[in-house]
Amino acid sequence: MIRSIRSPRRRVACRLALSALPMLVACGGGGGTAAPAAPPGPPPPPVPTSIQRISADPAPVAAGAVLGDSMRVRVVDANGRGVAGVAVVFAISGGGGSVSPAIANSTSDGSAATRWVSGPTAAINTLVVSSGSLTPVSFTATTTVPIGPPAVVTLTSPRFVFLDSGATAALTGTARDANGVTVPNAAIQFAARNTSVIGTSGNVLTGLRRGQSIVTASVGSATPDSVLAVVVGANGITLQTDLTRFDIRPDETFTVPILVDLRTSTERVGSAAITVSFDPAQLTFVSRSAGSAGVNVTVSDAQAATGRIAITFADATGFGGRVELLRLTFRASTATGRTGSLVLTATELNSATFTDLTGRLTALTYPLVIR
């Protein structure tokens, strides 16, 4: 057997190699180790890109009322996620009214809200919601003025109503509140001042006997309106003007014709003595001119300053139908609220055949007020 002989130098090298082995094993074969990765940082905050409406447009309400519980919007980013802490501005752009608050910061889900009170009148109300450079959104709502109690009654019927004895006529009227809004189903009451001339049943007038009466239309404490109802007898005749209203503007100048209307009568009026009376503190006589019928009248206006003008005429042939005798021009006083009357009377009215017509005549009185 042959033994290998190791030299002392080789034995020393082996021992050094063996002694270094644990170190090599511990160091992973001499290659080293990588440092652990850093944890991820927080995501960037969401960026607001738009405002979305949450609430719908409110339903119509009365002026000055709250428009819904609250008006809500939501501020979102490009992914539709709510963005918190964004200042949202609420501003009225039409119709008046108010909001509270005017500026609100969006909550954690991106929403913001305000309380909207509509304007004081009937209008289209508009609320605009904005935030910085974002595209604004808006809400609209209609407000109406609430209907109040009747404040004024207006008759839509003619200002003057002529009836034959026993005939009827219906009046129509409208009640409005202080804002001019029609009050539906208002119970308008009609009443004649002279109940021996005019009977009333609801809105229907009945002519009872020859004469005239003011008929008023009223509702509670509302300002009433009125008509002049005139009843003529069978084959009756009227002495009248063509006035169609009772109110006159202060300092107004107006002209009225003096008329004899024979209506259905076949008579021809041949002579008359007529007086026109008025309050000189309310009306001032200005001038006179011929009427359209071509009647040659004699006029005495010497007492016009005291409120009296006399008219007479006589014609052998006479005039039939609606006879305009002449025209008188007056100027109203400047005293607002002044009341008075224009009164027509006839002491003589005869036909061309000398028949006395005064028994069939209804001569009118016109109540007037300056306002």
CATH number of the domain that 201 lies in?
2.60.40.1080
Whether residue 297 lies inside any domain: the answer is yes
Same domain, yes or no: 254 and 221? no
Same domain, yes or no: 242 and 366? yes
Whether residue 25 lies inside any domain: the answer is no
Domain end (from 109, 125, 144):
144
Question: Which strands form 123-130's sheet, in the order they lie side by side?
Answer: 61-62, 137-144, 123-130, 87-94, 103-105
Same domain, yes or no: 245 and 214? no
CATH number of the domain that 289 lies in?
2.60.40.680
Q: Are 274 and 310 in contact (CB under 8 A)?
A: yes
Q: Which residues contact 317 (CB under 8 A, 6 or more apart)?
A: 268, 270, 352
Q: Kindly tell me the burial class for residue 236, based on how many C-beta atoms sit within 10 Å of its own C-beta (0-12, 13-18, 19 or more).
A: buried
Same domain, yes or no: 188 and 266? no
Same domain, yes or no: 140 and 171? no
Pairing of strands 322-332, 283-290: antiparallel
Same domain, yes or no: 282 and 352? yes
CA distance 349 to 314: 10
Whether residue 13 lies inside any domain: the answer is no
Same domain, yes or no: 243 and 280? yes
Same domain, yes or no: 168 and 279? no
Per-residue pLDDT in tens (0 to 9) along the chain, 371 residues: 444 444 545 554 445 444 544 444 444 445 556 677 778 878 788 899 999 999 999 998 888 888 877 899 999 999 999 999 999 999 999 999 999 999 999 999 999 999 999 988 889 999 999 999 999 999 999 998 888 899 999 998 788 999 998 999 999 999 998 878 888 899 999 999 999 999 999 999 999 999 999 999 999 999 999 999 999 988 899 999 999 888 999 999 999 999 999 998 999 999 999 999 999 999 999 999 999 999 999 999 999 999 999 999 999 999 999 999 999 999 999 999 999 999 999 999 999 999 999 999 999 999 999 99
Same domain, yes or no: 366 and 242? yes
Same domain, yes or no: 55 and 126? yes
CA distance 211 to 364: 8
Tokens of 95: 């119709």
* Alpha-carbon distance values, 316 to 152, 296, 297, 354 (Å): 52, 12, 13, 9
Name the pTM for this structure.
0.63
Whether residue 179 lies inside any domain: the answer is yes
Range of the domain at 67: 50-144
CATH number of the domain that 91 lies in?
2.60.40.10
Same domain, yes or no: 259 and 364? yes
Nearest to 217 by CA among 166, 161, 162, 163: 161
Whether residue 33 lies inside any domain: the answer is no
Same domain, yes or no: 91 and 163? no
pLDDT at 16: 43
